[in-house]
Amino acid sequence: MLAPRISVLVVSYDRTEFVVEALRSVIGQDLDTSEFETILLTDRSDPEIDRLLAGHSIQRLEPPPGNWGEWVLAALPRCRGEVLAFLDDDDIYEAGKLAAVREAFASAPPLGYYHHRVRRFGATGRSSDALGPVLGRLPDAQKNRRVADRLFWDLGGFNLSSIAVRRSVVEENAELLRALRVGHSLALFYASMTGPWDLQFDSRVLGRYRIHARNQSIPAGTSLARDWGRARERVAPVIDDAERIAAFIDFHGRGRVSSRPVRSVGARSRLVERLSSATTSRTELAEGLAGFLGLTPPRIAFDHRRLVGLCLLGLLEPRLPARWAGGRPGPSRRV
């Protein structure tokens, strides 16, 4: 029997409430089941999930403690497909997702990276408008700094559930993926931009990105006065990963990719940490942030926690506000 072309990796860390819905969205794909396999990576057990796995020949793997990259790399020996598609447990595939992935990677010349548009939805079930760039195929010969910078801001958080890559993209960049804490989707994009592959940005909406309390940078109802320490802790991984990815680009970019946008993420994070000092006055903070963001200097002293909270939201929310992206080319179509 031929090996499946696509390996779908469903990643579920420290929760089970969304896993069944995510798995059912994979089971319900239009693509013939001989074309793909599904592997659930999880550190939790649940009877309903176990029954679903057994009924549909879905593999289950409990990797050792680690980050997303370490989990995916631990699963790689189990994967038989030459294409890896990812699904966070709280997201959902539309029925035609894997057929679109199969079609894209079957084309020539070789494709390394595939991304589709999404709709965000929450507890109410209501969906947003389609989010994501409409670019089509990006041949390897046309990859350059201008295109890379534009895509950085258009794609924003590079939601993992919207991404499929050629297996070699992961294998050849294992060291980077293992070192990161939160920036794996961004790393997959840059690894593909700096490698010898085409990229494709599908205009179709083939997934849904769930908004809920546990994937919000600062959930609704959070009091920054009460939870400030926890909010500041969320910035550290952003700084670390921005530095690692920027260093990767500087080494592998070959003059075709700029590390400026990634470095700016780290710079904003450092600014937040510096200005969040207890000794900084509200007026100093307001003026400093206004200057950094290119806003008109405020005439009154704003509440400093609210300002830094907005800064954190912009840093950690997948869709970076346009006014924060100094020097970004062209209009925004963010995801």
In this predicted structure, the answer to whether residue 1 has a pLDDT above a threshold of 70 is: no
Q: Which range is least confidently modeled, 5-19, 167-181, 276-290? A: 276-290
Q: Which of the four pLDDT bands, split at 50, 70 and 90, describes residue 320?
A: very low
Its domain, for residue 75, covers 6-215
| In a domain? residue 209 | yes
Find out whether 86 and 164 touch, Cβ atoms under 8 Å: yes
Mean pLDDT of the region 31-53:
93
What values do phi and psi take at 296, rounded to 5?
-65, 130
d(CA 147, CA 256): 9
Q: Which two tokens stand for residue 128?
A: 């947003």
Q: Which range is least confidently modeled, 94-103, 135-144, 319-328? A: 319-328
DSSP class of 283 = H
d(CA 128, CA 122): 9
- 303-to-24, 172, 217, 247, 292 alpha-carbon distances in Å: 46, 47, 20, 36, 17
| In a domain? residue 272 | yes
In this predicted structure, the answer to whether residue 179 has a pLDDT above a threshold of 90 is: yes
Place of tokens 């400026």: 260
Last residue of a domain, one of 215, 247, 270: 215
| In a domain? residue 329 | no
Nearest to 257 by CA among 132, 140, 108: 140
Q: Which of the four pLDDT bands, split at 50, 70 and 90, describes residue 173?
A: very high
Mean pLDDT of the region 116-134:
75
pLDDT at 112: 95
Q: 44 and 164, same structural domain? A: yes
Q: 268 and 178, same structural domain? A: no
Chain segment 182-207, per-residue pLDDT in tens: 888 889 999 999 989 999 999 999 99
Mean pLDDT of the region 55-78:
93
Last residue of a domain, one of 215, 244, 268: 215
3-state secondary structure of 167: helix
Domain with 50 in it: what CATH number?
A: 3.90.550.10
Q: 209 and 78, same structural domain? A: yes
Q: Which two tokens stand for residue 155?
A: 């794609």
Find out whether 232 and 222 touch, Cβ atoms under 8 Å: no
| In a domain? residue 332 | no
Q: Which of the four pLDDT bands, split at 50, 70 and 90, describes residue 15?
A: confident
Q: What is the pTM of this model?
A: 0.78
Q: Looking at the 3D structure of the chain, how many domains does it have? A: 2
Q: 187 and 39, same structural domain? A: yes
pLDDT at 160: 92
Q: Which range is least confidently modeled, 32-36, 156-160, 230-234, 311-315? A: 311-315
Nearest to 185 by CA among 94, 287, 107, 69: 69
Place of tokens 């490698």: 195
Find out whether 157 and 332 touch, Cβ atoms under 8 Å: no
Nearest to 153 by CA among 323, 327, 320: 320
Place of tokens 């929760």: 15
In this predicted structure, the answer to whether residue 319 has a pLDDT above a threshold of 50 is: no
| In a domain? residue 63 | yes
Q: 155 and 41, same structural domain? A: yes
d(CA 96, CA 80): 21
Amino acid occupying residue 131: L
| In a domain? residue 1 | no
d(CA 162, CA 250): 26
| In a domain? residue 18 | yes
Last residue of a domain, one of 168, 185, 215: 215
Q: 62 and 203, same structural domain? A: yes
| In a domain? residue 80 | yes
